[in-house]
Chains A and B, each alone.
Chain A
C-alpha cells in the first residue's frame, strides 16, 4: 500500500513547512491474517455483534453481500455505525487519480481512504499487512511473486474487482507516456534499444496474478503494494483514446470515481473540502463480523494555515490534529476542557541534519563548487567529528522542542522500529574532545579563532530554507556552538526553490541544514538514492561514477546485500553496519528528533495514531464515534 510513497520516499527532504512529504496512504493496518476463502461468514455474523450494544444503522447503508473472502480486522475494537469524521488538510487534492497523483495532500485523501492496494502496511506496528490480496507467495530466488485476491471483492459501483483491473492498472503505470510516480519502482534494466524493461505481470486466473522479475527484489510485496488499482470498466476507453490524464480529475463527476477503499468521493469544492462517504461494497469486517467502515462520512476541510488548523481543532470543528512540537504544551493543558486527548507517538520520523559539501567537482564556469581549502576541511573525518561533538543537542531539544525530543547522531530515526540501530557512535556535547580532535587534524585555536595548517581562518556559510523557522533557529544555535570552537558561520536562509537549486544543480553551498522524512513503509529499499554513492540524493557528494572513499564503497556493497537477501536477520545485519559507518564517518551530522504527538476527540474509538503519515487516519476504516454524531447535530 503505501508504497507509493516511494516516490516521496524515505528521506525526502521535508517540504517547505518542514512537513513532510511522506506518503500517505492510509489504510493499511488493521488487517488480520489473511482469512482464507470462505471468510467470515455472511452478514449473519453480525449476530455476534450484540455485545457492542447495537452497532447502530449505517447511512448510507451497505449493499450487496459481504464478500466471501472479506478481511477480518482483528486489531480494532468493535464500534458503532454513524457519524461524520472531520480532518483538516493543508491543501486539497490535485487529482483523484491514484496513478497520476504525486503529492501529499492528494495521497492522504485518496491513497487508502478511497483507493485500496493489494498489499499494505500497519503504520502503528510497522509491519506488512494483507489488503485486497489475502496472500502472496515468493520463490526462493525472490524473482517471482504470486498474489491472490480475496474472493468476492467489488468496486463501489458493485462491479467485481478482478485481476483484469490490476493488469489494466499495471499496464497504465508502466506506459512510457503516463507520468506515474511509482513507475520507477517497477523498472528493471533496459533492452538493447535503450527502452526500459519492467517486471512482467501475468494473469493466472481471475483471482491470481504473478509478477516475474528480471532482477531479484526481496521486498517486492511493498512495490506491488504501490499499485492503487483503478477500475478497468470505467477508464479503459479513456486510456485507449490517450485520455487517461482526463480520468478522475477534480472535474470528474464524483459518481464516476469508482473506488475500492472504505470510502468513495461524494462531493468536492476546490480549496474548500472533500466529502467522502461509505463505500457500500467495502470488503473488511470487524471481529464481530460487522461490515466496515463505521463512519458514514469523512470530510477533509482545507485549512492552509497551521495556526487556524489548531484553532479549529480546539473549537471542536475537527476531530483530530497532528500536533506540532510547539503546540504540545498548550493542547495538553486544555485536554479535559476540550474533551480530547493528546497521544504521544514516540520519536518522529522527521530528522534534522547538518551537512558539509564534500563535492570536489567543478561548476559550469570550471571553478570548484567550494574553495578547495574548505573542501579539505570538510573531507577530514576528524573535523566533522569535532563539529558533531561541539553541538549541544540537549539545548536544541530544550529550545526548539520544549524538552520533548532526543539527540540524533546518525541517519535513521529512532522511530524506525525495524531498522534503527542503537549501537552507533554517539557524540555527546564535549568541547574538550572537539578541540582535541581539531588539534589532531592540524587546526590551531588561538584567541578564539580557529585556523588550519596553512593559516586560513575557519569560516563557512550555512544555508537552509527561509520558510522554515525551526531550521533557521537550529542554524543559529549551531552558529553559537561553533563559535565556541573559533569557527565563524555565516547563516544564509534562502527560499526553498533556491535551496534545492543550490543543492541539486549548482552545488553552491558550503554547509546546509535540512531534514529527512519517511516513506511508508520505512524500508531501506526506499533509501538507496541517499545511501548509494551513485545516488542523486547522496547530497554531500552525489552522482559519483565510482565510490570516492573506501567507506562509501563499503556502504554501496552493504546496500546491495540488504536488497538481495530475503532473510530479515541478514538484512538487518547489513543495515546495522551501514548505520555504524554512517555515524562514524558523519557525511550528515544528525541533530535532534522531536517526540511526535497527535490529538483526537475522546469520543473517537480505535483512534490509533502513528508516527508514519497519515498519522491520524491511516486506519480510517476502523475509526468510529462512541456516541455517533452526524453533520446535523455536531
Chain B
C-alpha cells in the first residue's frame, strides 16, 4: 500500500509540469500582457513601460519566461503577484481558507442530507417521501448553478432575511465580539451553502437510492430478515455498508473539487475566495497569481483522487492497492 501511495505521489510532478506548461502557453498566446492596459494611458511614457516590462520579465520569449518561472517554482518560489506586489502564496492562503470554509461546510451539508434521504427514498420507494426526494434531486440536477445562485441573491434582496453577498458585515465587523463574528459569518454562509449543498446533494442522493434499492433486493438481505433481524438493523448494518461503495468514490472526487466546485457561487455571492482572485488574475494577466492558483488546484485534485482511492480500499476488502 505504501508503495502504491508513493507511486501515486510520484505521478503528481509530471502532471504539474504538463498543467503548468499548458497554462503558461495559454497565457502567453493570449493577446496583450499585464502592462498592456497601461499602454493606452497617454501619461505613461515608453521608458516607464519599458521599466515595468523588464521588472515583470515580460520581454522574454515563451521558453525564457516559462523556464524562469519553472526554475523558481521547483524551489517553491512562486514569485510576487504583479498586481498586488505581494508573494502569491500570502494572497492565496488567505483566500483558500475562505473558499474551504464555504466548500467544506457545503460538502458536509450535502452529504449529511444526501445519505439519509437516499436511504429513505429507497426504503420507501414509490411513496410520498420518495417523490419529494426525487423532485429535490431533479431540481438540484437540472437547475443551472449560476441561475440558482442568482435566485438566492434575489431572495435575499427581496426578503432582507439574509445578506446579499460577502462573507461578513463589512461595516460593523471591526467592532464585533468573537461570538458576534461567528454569528455573522454563519449568517452569510447560509444561502451560498444552501445553494451548493442542494445542488450537490442531488446526484449523491440518486446514487445512494439506486445502490440501496439494488442491495435491498439481494438474497443476503432477505436471509437476514428471515433470520428475524429487525428491518432497520438490516438496512443500516447489512445493506448500507454494501451499498455505499460507489459513494465513497464520489466523495473522493468531491474532495478534489473543493477548490473549484464553488467557483460560480463564489462569484455570484461575492465570496472573498479563490474564485474571484483567480478570475481577476486571469483578466489582468497577473501570471504568477494565475500559475500558483492553477498549481494549487491541480495538487488538490490529485490528492483528492488519491484519498478517494485509499478510502475505497479501506472499506472494501475486495480492493487491494498494489
A residues near B (Cβ < 8 Å) are 6-13, 15-16, 21, 84, 86, 94-95, 100, 102, 179, 181, 183-184, 245, 249-251, 266-267, 269-273, 275, 299, 301, 303-305, 308, 311-312, 315, 317, 494-498, 500-501, 503-505, 519, 526-530, 535-537, 631-632, 634
Q: Are A500 and B42 in contact (CB under 8 A)?
A: no
Chain B min CB distance to A429 (Å): 30
* Residues of A close to B44: CB separation below 8 A: 7, 181, 184
Q: Are A303 and B270 in contact (CB under 8 A)?
A: yes
* Residues of A close to B175: CB separation below 8 A: 631-632
Chain B min CB distance to A1 (Å): 16
Question: Is B322 among interface residues, defined by CB-CB distance under 8 A?
Answer: no
Residue of B nearest to A526 (CB): B43
Residue of A nearest to B32 (CB): A497
Q: Are A95 and B85 in contact (CB under 8 A)?
A: yes
Assuming the contacts A270-B94, A270-B272, A497-B32, asked whether A301 and B43 have C-beta atoms less than 8 A apart, the reply is no
What are the 3 closest A-B residue pairs judged by CB atoms, nearest first? A497-B32, A9-B43, A537-B42
Question: Is B30 among interface residues, defined by CB-CB distance under 8 A?
Answer: yes
Q: Are B39 and A179 in contact (CB under 8 A)?
A: no
B residues near A (Cβ < 8 Å) are 30-33, 36-48, 51-52, 55, 83-86, 90-91, 94-95, 157, 164-168, 170-175, 270, 272, 276-277, 285
Chain B min CB distance to A380 (Å): 26
Q: Are A301 and B171 in contact (CB under 8 A)?
A: yes
Complex: A505 Cα to B32 Cα, angstroms: 10
Assuming the contacts A179-B48, A308-B165, A311-B157, asked whether A6 and B43 have C-beta atoms less than 8 A apart, the reply is yes
For B40, B47, B167, which residue has the most chain A Cβ atoms within 10 angstroms? B40
Q: Are A270 and B91 in contact (CB under 8 A)?
A: yes
Complex: A1 Cα to B88 Cα, angstroms: 33
* Residues of A close to B164: CB separation below 8 A: 308, 311-312, 315
Complex: A21 Cα to B41 Cα, angstroms: 9
Chain A min CB distance to B156 (Å): 10
Complex: A317 Cα to B175 Cα, angstroms: 17
Beyond the given A181-B44, A184-B43, A631-B174, please list 7 additional residue pairs across the A-B interface where CB-CB is below 8 A. Answer: A270-B91, A272-B272, A503-B40, A519-B43, A536-B46, A631-B171, A631-B172
Determine which of A8, A269, A496 lies in contact with B41 in the assembled complex, contact meaning CB atoms within 8 Å.
A8
* Residues of B close to A95: CB separation below 8 A: 84-85
* Residues of B close to A7: CB separation below 8 A: 41, 43-44
Residue of B nearest to A184 (CB): B45
Q: Are B86 and A249 in contact (CB under 8 A)?
A: yes
Q: Are A496 and B86 in contact (CB under 8 A)?
A: no
* Residues of B close to A266: CB separation below 8 A: 174
Q: Are A304 and B170 in contact (CB under 8 A)?
A: no
Chain A min CB distance to B150 (Å): 11
Q: Are A530 and B42 in contact (CB under 8 A)?
A: yes
Assuming the contacts A183-B48, A272-B272, A501-B31, asked whether A13 and B85 have C-beta atoms less than 8 A apart, the reply is no
Chain A min CB distance to B287 (Å): 13
Chain A min CB distance to B119 (Å): 40
Determine which of B39, B165, B171, B270 lies in contact with A84 in the assembled complex, contact meaning CB atoms within 8 Å.
B171
Q: Are B40 and A12 in contact (CB under 8 A)?
A: yes
Determine which of A100, A272, A308, A503 lies in contact with B167 in the assembled complex, contact meaning CB atoms within 8 Å.
A272
Residue of B nearest to A631 (CB): B172
* Residues of B close to A529: CB separation below 8 A: 42-43
Complex: A343 Cα to B26 Cα, angstroms: 46
Q: Are B41 and A272 in contact (CB under 8 A)?
A: no
* Residues of B close to A312: CB separation below 8 A: 164
Can you name 7 A-B residue pairings with CB atoms under 8 Å?
A8-B43, A15-B37, A86-B170, A250-B86, A270-B272, A272-B170, A503-B39
* Residues of B close to A270: CB separation below 8 A: 91, 94-95, 272
Chain B min CB distance to A503 (Å): 7
Residue of A nearest to B174 (CB): A267
* Residues of A close to B172: CB separation below 8 A: 631-632, 634
Residue of A nearest to B166 (CB): A272
Assuming the contacts A249-B86, A251-B86, A271-B272, asked whether A12 and B41 have C-beta atoms less than 8 A apart, the reply is yes
Chain B min CB distance to A543 (Å): 9
Residue of B nearest to A504 (CB): B39
Assuming the contacts A245-B85, A249-B85, A251-B86, asked whether A497 and B285 have C-beta atoms less than 8 A apart, the reply is yes
Q: Are B55 and A179 in contact (CB under 8 A)?
A: yes
Residue of B nearest to A519 (CB): B43
* Residues of B close to A272: CB separation below 8 A: 166-168, 170, 272
Q: Are B37 and A498 in contact (CB under 8 A)?
A: no
Chain B min CB distance to A556 (Å): 15
Q: Are B42 and A501 in contact (CB under 8 A)?
A: no
Chain A min CB distance to B187 (Å): 15
Chain A min CB distance to B37 (Å): 6
Q: Are B43 and A12 in contact (CB under 8 A)?
A: yes
Residue of B nearest to A527 (CB): B42
Q: Are B42 and A536 in contact (CB under 8 A)?
A: yes
Q: Are A271 and B85 in contact (CB under 8 A)?
A: no
Determine which of A8, A184, A504, A530 lies in contact with B48 in the assembled complex, contact meaning CB atoms within 8 Å.
A184
Q: Are B40 and A271 in contact (CB under 8 A)?
A: no
Chain A min CB distance to B189 (Å): 15
Chain B min CB distance to A205 (Å): 33
* Residues of A close to B84: CB separation below 8 A: 94-95, 250
Q: Are A273 and B42 in contact (CB under 8 A)?
A: no
Q: Are A498 and B41 in contact (CB under 8 A)?
A: no
Q: Are B52 and A179 in contact (CB under 8 A)?
A: yes
Complex: A86 Cα to B172 Cα, angstroms: 11
Complex: A571 Cα to B58 Cα, angstroms: 41
* Residues of A close to B174: CB separation below 8 A: 266-267, 275, 631
Assuming the contacts A12-B43, A498-B31, A530-B42, asked whether A305 and B270 have C-beta atoms less than 8 A apart, the reply is yes
Assuming the contacts A179-B51, A497-B32, asked whether A273 and B40 have C-beta atoms less than 8 A apart, the reply is no
Complex: A41 Cα to B277 Cα, angstroms: 50
Chain A min CB distance to B23 (Å): 17
Determine which of A9, A13, A305, A317 lies in contact with B171 in the assembled complex, contact meaning CB atoms within 8 Å.
A317
Chain A min CB distance to B197 (Å): 23
Chain A min CB distance to B160 (Å): 8
Complex: A16 Cα to B38 Cα, angstroms: 12
Residue of B nearest to A8 (CB): B41
Complex: A497 Cα to B29 Cα, angstroms: 12
* Residues of B close to A13: CB separation below 8 A: 40-41
Q: Are A501 and B48 in contact (CB under 8 A)?
A: no
For B43, B95, B165, which residue has the most chain A Cβ atoms within 10 angstroms? B43
* Residues of B close to A249: CB separation below 8 A: 85-86
Q: Are A535 and B32 in contact (CB under 8 A)?
A: no
Chain B min CB distance to A195 (Å): 12
Q: Are A634 and B171 in contact (CB under 8 A)?
A: yes
Residue of B nearest to A245 (CB): B85
Complex: A183 Cα to B95 Cα, angstroms: 34
Chain A min CB distance to B3 (Å): 43
* Residues of A close to B55: CB separation below 8 A: 179
Assuming the contacts A95-B85, A498-B32, asked whether A315 and B157 have C-beta atoms less than 8 A apart, the reply is yes
* Residues of B close to A181: CB separation below 8 A: 43-44, 48
* Residues of B close to A275: CB separation below 8 A: 174
For A94, A304, A530, A536, which residue has the most chain B Cβ atoms within 10 angstroms? A536
Complex: A301 Cα to B270 Cα, angstroms: 12
* Residues of B close to A100: CB separation below 8 A: 85
Complex: A505 Cα to B36 Cα, angstroms: 10
Q: Are B270 and A497 in contact (CB under 8 A)?
A: no
* Residues of B close to A305: CB separation below 8 A: 270
Chain B min CB distance to A239 (Å): 16
Complex: A588 Cα to B85 Cα, angstroms: 37
Residue of A nearest to B55 (CB): A179
* Residues of A close to B270: CB separation below 8 A: 303-305, 308
Chain A min CB distance to B277 (Å): 7
Complex: A505 Cα to B46 Cα, angstroms: 12
For A275, A312, A497, A631, which residue has the most chain B Cβ atoms within 10 angstroms? A497
* Residues of A close to B33: CB separation below 8 A: 497
For A100, A275, A494, which residue has the most chain B Cβ atoms within 10 angstroms? A275
* Residues of B close to A519: CB separation below 8 A: 43
Determine which of B31, B46, B272 lies in contact with A495 in the assembled complex, contact meaning CB atoms within 8 Å.
B31
